[in-house]
Amino acid sequence: MALNTQAKQEIINKHQTHGTDTGSAEVQVAMLSERITQLSKHLQSNLHDFSSRQGLLKMIGQRKRLLSYVKSKSLNRYNALVSKLGLRG
């Protein structure tokens, strides 16, 4: 359930902090959120795909760790990211 190159580039362009930013925490969280959304849709129609479910839980944990990192560095960046992605509520 990987993202294709075009989808990745759109996410990077939307969430990058400067022109050459491709791996900041904000970009990583946005990519993980997109992959989580795709995998959640897959699991709704494939209820017995337990290995994908395990991967989904790992991705959710990784996103949670990245979000806590952003929150510890800058609360303003965290709030902007959460509101832009529509997380937490």
CATH of the domain at 35: 1.10.287.10
The range of the structural domain enclosing residue 43 comes to 24-85
Using a 10 angstrom Cβ sphere, with 0-12 exposed, 13-18 middle and 19 or more buried, the burial of residue 27 is: buried
Among the listed residues 75, 82, 81, 72, the one whose alpha carbon sits nearest the alpha carbon of residue 17: 81
Q: How many domains does the chain have?
A: 1
Does 6 reside within a domain?
A: no
Q: What is the pLDDT of residues 30-80, one digit of tens each?
A: 999 999 999 999 999 999 999 999 999 999 999 999 999 999 999 999 999
The CA-atom distances, in angstroms, between 77 and each of 2, 15, 28, 64 are 26, 11, 14, 15
Q: What is the pLDDT of residue 89?
A: 47
Does 44 reside within a domain?
A: yes
Does 76 reside within a domain?
A: yes
Q: Are 12 and 27 in contact (CB under 8 A)?
A: yes
Q: Rounded to two decimals, what is the model's pTM?
A: 0.91
